[in-house]
């Protein structure tokens, strides 16, 4: 039922513009900047009524104030980061729900990249907006949390249905895949996927959204057998 539009901004960010046609509500996920998001909505005849933030980093919240000024939208984000996102109107945490029209999203706590990071999962649409927690073939850097927290995040997300589409906030797939090939050199599914990724990127095409099924098969962070192994792999990727 949802229409989800990818807006590429900055060097490698994606803002997701989400339209619910019955209510005519439109929501932006993690708008790094305002102008391209407002322009895309205007082009489609949509009015942005909400913003959902997954965490406080400026490349996810930088467009909040200008979009709010232009549209009067409501901004929802992590209660644990309210002091770092001054534009928030509604504070949420794991176990809460939010709605776009009649479509209900569940809030999942996924701290580690930032201390209060959240994700939004929409069961009826089999869609999750995960910010910088889960990437195609990778996970977010551990800026404000621990490997144990990120390992727990991977367990929460891998429990979603196989065909859940994962909308992350960056085009990191090729670099993640290059490291993944080193971490799991005998993973045939990974080799197949990387060949597809290289073809897409050579054409300048995006590689996300991904799916939970694909990440279970090819993501070295999700596939880590322990928090210690995830820590090793994340550190190795940081230095790759």
Distance CA 59, CA 188 (A): 35
What are 100's strand-pairing partners? 103
**Residues in contact with 138: Cβ distance below 8 Å, sequence separation at least 6, in sequence order:** 172, 176, 179, 180, 219, 220, 221, 237
70, burial (CB in 10 Å: exposed 0-12, middle 13-18, buried 19+): middle
Cβ distance 58 to 134 under 8 Å?
no
Distance CA 121, CA 92 (A): 13
Cα–Cα–Cα angle for 6, 71, 11, rounded to 5 degrees: 35
Name the residues annotated as catalytic.
55, 57, 59-60, 113, 132, 170
41 — phi, psi (to 5°)? -60, -45
Classify strands 25-29 and 13-20 as parallel, antiparallel or unpaired. antiparallel
From the centroid of its chain, how far is CA 88? Answer: 19
């Amino acid at each position: 039922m949802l229409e989800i539009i990818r807006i590429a901004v900055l060097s490698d960010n994606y803002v997701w513009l989400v339209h619910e046609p019955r209510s005519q509500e439109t929501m932006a996920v993690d708008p790094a900047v305002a102008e391209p998001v407002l322009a895309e909505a205007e082009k489609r005849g949509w009015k942005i009524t909400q913003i959902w933030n997954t965490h406080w980093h400026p490349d996810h919240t930088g467009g909040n104030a200008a979009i709010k000024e232009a549209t009067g939208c409501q901004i929802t984000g992590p209660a644990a980061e309210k002091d770092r996102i001054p534009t928030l109107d509604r504070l949420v945490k794991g176990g809460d729900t939010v709605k776009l029209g009649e479509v209900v999203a569940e809030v999942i706590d996924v701290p580690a990249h930032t201390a209060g990071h959240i994700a939004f999962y929409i069961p009826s649409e089999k869609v999750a907006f995960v910010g910088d927690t889960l990437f195609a073939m990778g996970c977010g850097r551990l800026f404000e949390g621990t490997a144990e927290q990120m390992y727990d995040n991977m367990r929460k997300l891998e429990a979603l249905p196989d065909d859940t589409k994962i909308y992350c906030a960056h085009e990191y797939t090729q670099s993640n895949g290059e490291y993944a090939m080193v971490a799991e050199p005998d993973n045939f599914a990974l080799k197949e996927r990387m060949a597809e990724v290289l073809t897409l990127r050579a054409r300048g095409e995006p590689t996300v959204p991904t799916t939970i099924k694909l990440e279970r098969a090819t993501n070295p962070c999700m596939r880590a057998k322990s928090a210690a192994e995830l820590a090793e792999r994340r550190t190795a990727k940081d230095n790759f």
